[in-house]
Amino acid sequence: MAQTAACNRVHEVEQRLARWLLTLHDLVVADQIIMTHEFLSIMLGTRRTTVTIAAGMLQDEGLIEYKRGKVHILDRKGLEKAACECYGSLRQFVARIPFAPPPAK
């Protein structure tokens, strides 16, 4: 929780959005994630309109496609580059949990 709180304070919303999408991608092990901007705004601690702008930036970069509550991961490697370093830290932490799902490839 401390890592997420610090991340929300220090990193840009586009980086945090990339981190959340990667984390969700790991959990659902699917390229399409059903998710609203409203939910993402709560998770990122920002306004929904800010999420819309950040998602648009990731979409313009060809990393995701977002349509009416559905996020399609197009370029996972690119999304990993766009995310802050917190994603790697959290991924290592989760990997040490015996019952955790394997990370997406």
Structural domain contains residue 100:
no
Structural domain contains residue 105:
no
Structural domain contains residue 85:
yes
Place of tokens 């830290």: 89
CATH number at residue 48: 1.10.10.10
- C-alpha to C-alpha distances, 82 to 47, 96, 97, nearest whole angstrom: 20, 24, 26
Over the stretch 54-83, which tens digit does the pLDDT of each residue have? 999 999 999 999 988 899 999 999 999 998
Over the stretch 6-47, which tens digit does the pLDDT of each residue have? 556 666 888 889 998 998 888 887 889 998 889 888 888 889
Q: What is the pTM of this model?
A: 0.76
Structural domain contains residue 104:
no
53's tokens: 């702008």
Domain of 81, in residue numbers? 2-95
Domain total for the chain?
1
Q: What is the C-alpha to C-alpha distance for residues 30 and 60, in angstroms, rounded to an integer? A: 21
Structural domain contains residue 102:
no
Q: What is the C-alpha to C-alpha distance for residues 31 and 43, in angstroms, rounded to an integer? A: 20
Q: What is the C-alpha to C-alpha distance for residues 101 and 48, in angstroms, rounded to an integer? A: 29
